[in-house]
Structure formats: structure tokens, C-alpha cells
Amino acid sequence: MPHVSMVLSPGFQFLALGVQAAFELANAVEGEAYYTLSIASVEGGPVTSSSGFAVPTVPLAEVGQVDTLLLLAGLTPPPRQDEATLDTLRIIARESRRVAGLCTGAFLLGQMGLLDGRRATTHWSYARQMREDFPNVRIEDDRIFINEGAVWTSAGLTAGLDLAVALIEKDLGRDAAGAIARRLVMHHRRAGGQSQHSELLELAPSSDRIQKAVIFAKAHLANPLTVEELAEVAALSPRQFARAFRAETGQTPAKAVEQMRLEAARLLIEETRHPMDSIAREAGFVDIRRMREAFMRQYGQPPQALRRLAKAP
């Protein structure tokens, strides 16, 4: 009987506890107690949420054999945990079949060293901080959830339900997962390859000149969008523009343009049935080959695979 333990850290967001509903409904769908559940913390005792409510927890070491370890955190990334806490989490994670960091819980996995060399996601607004904190992790901030072997991460809080349903699908199959999604009144069961809000790729330059260049680029993706072209829009020299752009956005103009094109292409892939060659041209990739190369660099999958994921029932 797989045991699912939800581990709370101080300041956790209460909504994250909603993932237990998916496992509870799995038991109802199966007609038996397939999963057992616990709410734990490293030390046990009441843990206070970000809204001020305290939840009783059992010490993690007393939970017993954990099949699925879910790390829940707050609306902001958790601070660096002490080594004793991280060692306890590492031991339980190592003995578990799988471990997941929900939303900012992914930062805990990063602190444990479990994300090194892996792909991971988190809430889009903290993706840049996660890149800075964990340079050995490949952050994909345009994903609902990511499964890397025994390690899972999810985007914002409601994406935790998508991850939970995906975990259940691994155990009980697609029919059960679909039934649970319907019981949860989820609009549809989102595959992990789907985008988070398009805002996640919004650049936030502070100056009017760089903002103007970003707006121009988004509206003219079919253009070459060279540094020279964007610099002219911003009324700066190419060298001044490149330096100012990176200082204000944290990215080079070329990288930002590629992200805009990837976002535009992904939306078309997920929401339309347009042929891939048409999408490539519309998003400014010129041809399918270049679009495919960009998708492989960013997502590790070709566009066709992401369309299949997005259309999955």
C-alpha cells in the first residue's frame, strides 16, 4: 500500500495541501484504500502556514516507509535549511520510490542536491532566482510539471494537482487519472508539457527604450530581429543596446528573442492544429529544422512531442 507523505516547512501555503484530495479520490475510484497519507515535518508538531494557521504534523522519521515524498513550501522560496534538516530529507528521499517538490518546494530539492544535472520547474516568477541559486539545474520555467526519473517538480500551487494526478496515472493508469480529474472538476487534465501563463516569459525592462524594443520584437517575430534592428528601434547604438538589454532583463537580446519565438510557437502548437512549417514561419524560426533545434535546446523534446503532450486527454 503506497504511503504518500506531505512534508511541511514553516510558512507553507495552505492551498498546497489540496493535493491530498487527488490521492483520497484515487482511493474512492479504486474502491479501496490504495494510498495511505500523512502530514509530516522534520521535527513534528504544529507547523504554521503563510496565513497564520497551524497544522499538526508527525515527525518525518516516525512516518515509516514512504513511497511518495511531497515537499510543500510557501508563496516565496524557503530559506536555506540547516544541514540536519537537509540530511533527514535526503535519507527519506533516498528510501522513497519518488520525491516531488511542489511549486517553491522545488527549492528544497535543490538544496538537497537532488536536482543537480536534472531538468526542473517552479513558479515562473521565481525561475530566475532558482537559476541563480542552483546553476547546475536546468530550469524550464515554461512547464506545468517535470518528471525526471524519481524526481518531480511542479509550477505554481494549482499545478501541484496536475502533478498529483500524473503520479496517480503512473500507478493506476489513464482511466483512473481521468476519473479523478473529473471528480476534482479540473477543466482538463493538463500534461506536464503545457505552458504556464505566458507572463512567465514577460521581460521586465525598466527603461522606455528597452521596453519599446521588446514590444516591437513580440509584434514582429517574423523579422530577423537582429541586435542592429532592435537597437534602431530603441534609438541606441548596437553596443549600447546589447549592454542595456542584458543589464535590465538578465538576458542577451538573442536569447530573449528565441524565448519569445518559443513561447509563440508553443502556444500555436498547444492551441491550434496548424502545420509545423506554418508555425515555424509565423514564430520567426524560418524553417522546421531551426524550430526543432530550439525546442530541443530548451525543452529536450521536439515540437511534435510537445503537441502530443498538450493534446493528451
Of residues 31 and 178, more confidence is placed in 31
Name the pairing type of β-strands 145-148 and 138-139.
unpaired
- Interatomic CA distance for residues 84 and 228, integer angstroms: 53
Average pLDDT, the chain: 90
Position 80 confidence tier, pLDDT thresholds 50, 70, 90: very high
Q: Look at residue 82 and tell me whether its pLDDT is greater than 50.
A: yes
Position 292 confidence tier, pLDDT thresholds 50, 70, 90: very high
CATH match for 203-311 among 3.90.550.10, 3.40.1190.20, 3.30.565.10, 1.10.10.60: 1.10.10.60
Mean per-residue pLDDT, 171-191: 78
Q: Look at residue 232 and tell me whether its pLDDT is greater than 90.
A: yes
Q: Look at residue 197 and tell me whether its pLDDT is greater than 60.
A: no
Q: In terms of CATH, what superfamily is 3-183?
A: Class I glutamine amidotransferase (GATase) domain (3.40.50.880)
Q: Break the chain into its structural domains and give their ranges.
A: 3-183, 203-311
Question: Which residues are annotated as catalytic?
Answer: 103
Name the pairing type of β-strands 151-154 and 145-148.
antiparallel
Q: How far apart, in Å, are the Cα atoms of 185 and each of 17, 180, 281?
A: 17, 9, 37
Residue type, 196: Q
Question: CB-hemisphere CA count at 13 Å for 46?
Answer: 6
Q: What is the pLDDT of residue 307?
A: 83
Percent of the chain with pLDDT over 70: 93
Mean per-residue pLDDT, 198-206: 60
Mean per-residue pLDDT, 266-294: 91
